[in-house]
Chain A
Amino acid sequence: QKEVEQDPGPLSVPEGAIVSLNCTYSNSAFQYFMWYRQYSRKGPELLMYTYSSGNKEDGRFTAQVDKSSKYISLFIRDSQPSDSATYLCAMPKGSQGNLIFGKGTKLSVKP
């Protein structure tokens, strides 16, 4: 079983839709969770950084962690064409700050 699994999509939604992006992980020791957004031909940009279970909201974005299910989600409300990008989940592993990344979900928001 892979340590982090993420559906690669692609996911296409109309403008204004609520988007749900998800990752599952296998290591119950993971406690910190990150979501990155990557536009084409650019480096990943940190969107959300959460610790342990629960929700964290930042504008139109909400990160949700369910440690009992080893499942994390990123919700985007009122999606915009500018949200079209690849979204990657990541978790720290080990003592050197190395991150385990999902393979990313490609999202397209159609006007």
Chain B
Amino acid sequence: SQTIHQWPATLVQPVGSPLSLECTVEGTSNPNLYWYRQAAGRGLQLLFYSVGIGQISSEVPQNLSASRPQDRQFILSSKKLLLSDSGFYLCAWSVGQNSNQPQHFGDGTRLSIL
């Protein structure tokens, strides 16, 4: 069966520090991968998605970037965090090459910027 792992579960970082959040998927090949941010009362905001290694699409211009160095690994990064980067970050995967399949989520990283 497929599983998705995200870490860390919680993170407290000072303003201006770098960020690296990692997500890995097991049990499937060539998945579509997604990064979302969920702010209180604002729903799920799609940040990035990837349909293959090295292929990243950005949905919202911002202080963050994403990379996909391996088929089942997706990384969310920032060089300098802002207070507005606080939130709950979720990684998800779906079956590749089938646009109507549901997405499956990890348990998220709660990021607090001080």
Binding site for B on A (CB under 8 A): 8, 31-32, 34, 36, 41-46, 49, 88, 90, 92, 94-99, 101-104
Contact = CB atoms under 8 A, between A and B. Distances in A.
Nearest to B94: A97
Contacts of A34: 102
B109 to A, nearest CB: 10
Contacts of B46: 98-99
Contacts of A88: 43-44
B90, B103, B106: most-surrounded residue (chain A CB, <10 A): B103
Secondary structure type dominating chain B contacts: strand
29 contacts: A8-B41, A31-B100, A36-B105, A41-B108, A41-B110, A43-B6, A43-B90, A43-B105, A43-B107, A43-B108, A45-B105, A49-B102, A88-B43, A90-B102, A96-B32, A96-B49, A96-B51, A96-B57, A97-B32, A97-B49, A97-B98, A98-B46, A98-B49, A98-B59, A99-B103, A102-B43, A103-B41, A103-B42, A103-B43
B43 A92 contact: no
A101 B105 CA distance: 13
Chain B interface size range: 20 to 34
B43, B98, B104: most-surrounded residue (chain A CB, <10 A): B43
Nearest to A88: B44
Nearest to A4: B43
Interface string B80-114: 00000000001010100011111111111010000
Interface of B: 6, 32, 34, 41-44, 46, 49, 51, 57, 59, 90, 92, 94, 98-108, 110
A36 B107 CA distance: 13
